[in-house]
Structure 1
Amino acid sequence: MAAVLTDRVDDVAVAEAAARIALARRVPLLLIAVMPPHIRQSGLGPATAPVRAVLARVMPKIGPLHVGYIPEVFPLPARNGPRLTAAKELLGLATRHRAPEVVASRRGPEGLDAFALIEAAALRGGPYVHAVAPSTGTSPRMTTQDPPMARRVMERKPFSDE
């Protein structure tokens, strides 16, 4: 089980959902901290200050669940490649750690939101990707990053009994 942490408000919901799934399946949790490309690449590891800051935000929620976790760093590549490059590389990292499932936020950095990860997972044949909605502090509004199908689903009105 892997959780994609992107230093956003939704990280807590992502980590908590992933920890609960990991606890139910009795597997360790891979916490993947995504670091922006402007952070120095040399010496970037789980013990550096930016990574510890990302992990410190989610530890109060997953610590009480007593789930084993493995911190990992994913440096976000520059935007000069194909659209799904970052998603494929992140899924490759999860696969190397034998994580059959990945939990990600619906709204993440471009190329690492749940929709891009789902698309990349479909192209490469796995792993399964869970999409977590924004936390209660934010409203679930449409963004230009949502794929067209998601926008159509969000625009639908509920069925009426008339």
Structure 2
Amino acid sequence: MNRSLSPSPLGNTPRPVRAGLVQPVAAVLTDRADDVAVAEAAARIALARRVPLLLIAVMPPPMRRSSLAPAGAVLARVMPKVGPLRVGYIPEVFHLPPESGGRLAAAKELLALASRHRAPEVVASRRGPEGLDAFALIEAAALRGGPYVHAVAPPTWTPPRLMAH
């Protein structure tokens, strides 16, 4: 059975939960600027439903000597925003398929991964790698009968404030 981390009622220390008994909200993290907005939107849904997050880090096709360090970096980028919300999470890595099996192949495989975790909702960016943007995931979900896909708009750019000395 998969184990995930969930906030403990006794403090900020995460505690393991039995992932097989819950239906997490999946967040598709593609190592882009949109990841934080996607993770925050998924965390708000997960908090409202009182379930953990399924944080899916999308990585390039696997190589012979594959390392999980890049996936950890993707997750580490969103944790400062998601961690304070005290929602548990299940980390997962999705490697892009090495060959193109059609326009929606990657989207179908990613949705199959979310389904294996029993995730009824997936949150993705409107902009993403080809085949894994929210619109491709919505189309693939319609073809396979679920899950529900939420499209998150990219964050708006705000100019940095200049500090007066």
Unaligned runs of 5+ in 1: 139-162
Deviation at 1:79, TM superposition (A): 4.2
**Aligned counterpart, 2:124:** 104
Q: 1:31 aligns with which of 21, 43, 55?
A: 55
Match of 1:116 in 2: 136
- The answer to whether the aligner puts 1:133 opposite 2:157 as a matched pair is no
2:63 to 33, 40, 56: 40
TM-score by length of 1: 0.79
* Aligned equivalent of 1:68, options 76, 88, 97: 88
RMSD between superposed Cα atoms in Å? 1.4
After superposition, where does 1:147-162 map in structure 2 within 5 Å?
none
Equivalent pair of 1:41/1:75 in contact (CA under 8 Å): no
Output the TM-score relative to the length of structure 2.
0.78
Q: 1:18 aligns with which of 42, 50, 56?
A: 42
Q: What is the CA-CA distance between 1:13 and the residue it aligns to? A: 0.1
1-structure distance, mates of 2:45, 2:26:
10
Q: Which stretches in structure 2 are left out of the alignment for 5+ residues?
A: 1-24, 159-165
Identity over aligned pairs, percent: 83
- Which structure has greater strand proportion? 2
Secondary structure at 2:55 match in 1: strand
How many residue pairs get aligned? The number is: 134
Measure, in 1, the Cα distance between the counterparts of 2:93 and 2:44.
22
| Counterpart amino acid of residue 60 in structure 1 | P
The whole-number CA distance in structure 1 between the counterparts of 2:101 and 2:128 is 18
Displacement, 1:82?
1.1
What stretches of structure 1 move > 2 A for 4+ residues in a row?
39-44
